[in-house]
């Protein structure tokens, strides 16, 4: 791995590529629509990145450890919907921090189920999480409920009205940054600390590098893997309840189906599927790019029907170029 500041490393990093694409995209967008570059757009994009961002951090952690998780959307939506129905049934006045805690705990429990199959039974992660994706969602829709609930507990609605910043620009357009954004910042800081300054975090990288080597230097692989999936479940629970509060509706059909765009964001940011590599900066840039493409493709003159093509091509180019460079470098070294 090249150092961040060495020129060769800097220009071939995914982070740099994605940042340049974002910059280019914004320039073209500003030229075709001068209103694009405004605080309203920025706050819209930040708001849209909250749920996607938390889920992406979770997905990144799994990728670093050398696995892949596609069930986190089902975990998120299950935790959110179960929490909402439980709260409405037993304690509608529950304050929002408790509601959030409950959702995080349910998410952690569901994550533990993934952890049991993956860490303990050693089954392939993609297959396990494909299975639990349908199990969680099927369970939720069969036994908990399949109705959209718009009469949320009052404190959940209250949470969605809490803002960090709000106001009106001189042009008269409205902007607002909800408190939920702080949750994203918190998740990023916590995960950053965990990954870079704890033995646990370094073990996750070691696991992704090579499970066998990690085991031989004395890392308890089972415990680390189990922790990863519980932590991912908790983050998903948090993302789910934020999604529910912000859309002011508990919709059991939402979120599931978006897991691939989350993974796309993480992969664009340079995390490698084989594990051992991935950065928060890259992941967040990837999230920003996906959100930009989802919301503002029309501004640069591409009809929104081409959105999937654009995201697909971004994934292929964003992962193909580094893969090809790595292959070339390996060929030269040999």
Partner 1 sequence: MTSNRKTSTWRQAPEFRLAIIAVVVFAFMGMLSPERFLSEQNLTSMAFQFPEFAILALAITLVMMTGGIDLSVVGIANLSAVVAALILTEFAGPDLPMQASLLWFGFALVASLLIGAVAGVLNGALVAFLGLPPILATLGAGLVFTGLAIALTGGSAVMGFPEVVAVIGNTQVLGLPTPLIIFILLAMALHLLMTRTAFGIRISMFGTNPLAALYAAVDVKGMLLKVYMLSGLFASVAGMVIMSRANSAKADYGSSYLLLSVLIAVLGGVNPYGGYGRVIGVVFAVLSMQFLSSGLNMLQVSNFARELIWGALLLFVMTTNTTFWNTFRLPLARHKK
Q: Give contact residues for partner 1 (rule: CB under 8 A).
A: 66, 68, 117, 121-124, 126-128, 130-142, 146, 210-212, 260, 263-264, 267, 273-275, 303, 305-316, 319-320, 323-324, 326-327, 330
Minimum distance, C-beta of residue 195 to partner 1, in the bound complex (Å): 20
Q: In the bound complex, what is the minimum distance in angstroms from residue 150's beta carbon to partner 1?
A: 21
Eight-class DSSP state of 204: H
Cβ of residue 240: shortest distance to partner 1, in angstroms?
18
Mutual angle of helices 280-296 and 14-32, in 10-degree steps: 30
Distance CA 20, CA 25 (A): 8
Q: Where are the alpha helices (DSSP H) in 65-210?
A: 72-90, 96-115, 125-139, 154-161, 180-197, 199-209
CA count, 13 A, side-chain hemisphere, 198: 10
Minimum CB distance to partner 1 smaller for 123 or for 246: 123
Burial of 265: CB neighbours in 10 Å, binned 0-12, 13-18, 19+: buried
Residue closer to partner 1 (CB basis): 29 or 311: 311
Determine which helix (DSSP H) or strand (DSSP E) holds 166, and give its type and residue range.
Answer: strand 163-168
Sign of CA dihedral 24, 314, 234, 273: negative
In the complex, minimum distance from the CB of residue 127 to partner 1, in angstroms, rounded to a whole number: 5
For residue 22, what are the CA distances in angstroms to 16, 114, 237, 291?
A: 10, 35, 29, 11
Nearer to partner 1, 118 or 183 (CB): 118
Pick 238 or 267: Cβ nearer partner 1: 267
Tell me whether residue 230 or residue 314 sits nearer to partner 1 (CB atom): 314
Of the pair 106, 207, the CB lying nearest partner 1 is at 207
User: Nearest distance from residue 199's CB to partner 1, in Å?
Assistant: 22
Taking the C-alpha atoms of residue 334 and residue 136, their distance in angstroms, rounded to an integer, is: 47
**Least separation, in Å, of the C-beta of 155 and partner 1?**
29
- 80 or 180: CB nearest partner 1: 80
**Pairing state between β 163-168 and 174-178:** antiparallel
Smallest distance, Å, CB 320 to partner 1? 5
């Amino acid at each position: 791995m090249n150092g961040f500041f060495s020129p060769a490393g800097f220009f071939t990093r995914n982070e740099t590529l994605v940042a340049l694409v974002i910059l280019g995209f914004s320039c073209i967008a500003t030229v075709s629509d001068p209103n694009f570059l405004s605080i309203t757009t920025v706050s819209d994009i930040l708001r849209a990145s909250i749920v996607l961002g938390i889920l992406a951090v979770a997905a990144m952690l799994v990728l670093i450890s050398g696995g892949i998780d596609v069930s986190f959307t089902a975990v998120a939506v299950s935790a959110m919907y179960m929490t909402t129905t439980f709260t409405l049934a037993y304690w509608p006045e529950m304050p929002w921090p408790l509601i959030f805690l409950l959702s995080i705990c349910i998410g952690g429990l569901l994550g533990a189920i993934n952890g049991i199959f993956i860490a303990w039974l050693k089954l392939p992660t993609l297959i396990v999480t494909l299975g639990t994706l349908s199990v969680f969602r099927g369970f939720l829709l069969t036994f908990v409920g399949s109705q959209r609930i718009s009469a949320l507990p009052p404190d959940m609605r209250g949470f969605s009205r809490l803002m960090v910043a709000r106001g009106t620009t001189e042009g008269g357009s409205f902007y607002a940054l909800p408190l939920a954004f702080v949750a994203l910042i918190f998740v990023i800081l916590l995960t950053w600390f965990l990954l870079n300054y704890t033995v646990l975090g370094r073990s996750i990288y070691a696991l992704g590098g090579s499970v066998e080597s990690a085991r031989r230097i004395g890392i308890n692989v089972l415990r680390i893997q189990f922790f990863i999936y519980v932590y991912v479940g908790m983050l998903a629970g948090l993302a789910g309840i934020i999604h529910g509060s912000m859309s002011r509706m508990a919709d059991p059909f939402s979120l599931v189906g978006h897991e691939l765009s989350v993974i796309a964001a993480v992969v664009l940011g340079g995390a490698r599927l084989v594990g051992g590599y991935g950065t928060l900066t890259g992941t967040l840039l990837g999230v920003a790019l996906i959100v930009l493409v989802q919301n503002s493709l029309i501004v640069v003159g591409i009809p929104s029907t081409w959105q999937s093509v654009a995201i697909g091509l971004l994934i292929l180019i964003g992962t193909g170029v580094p893969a090809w460079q790595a292959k070339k470098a390996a060929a030269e070294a040999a």
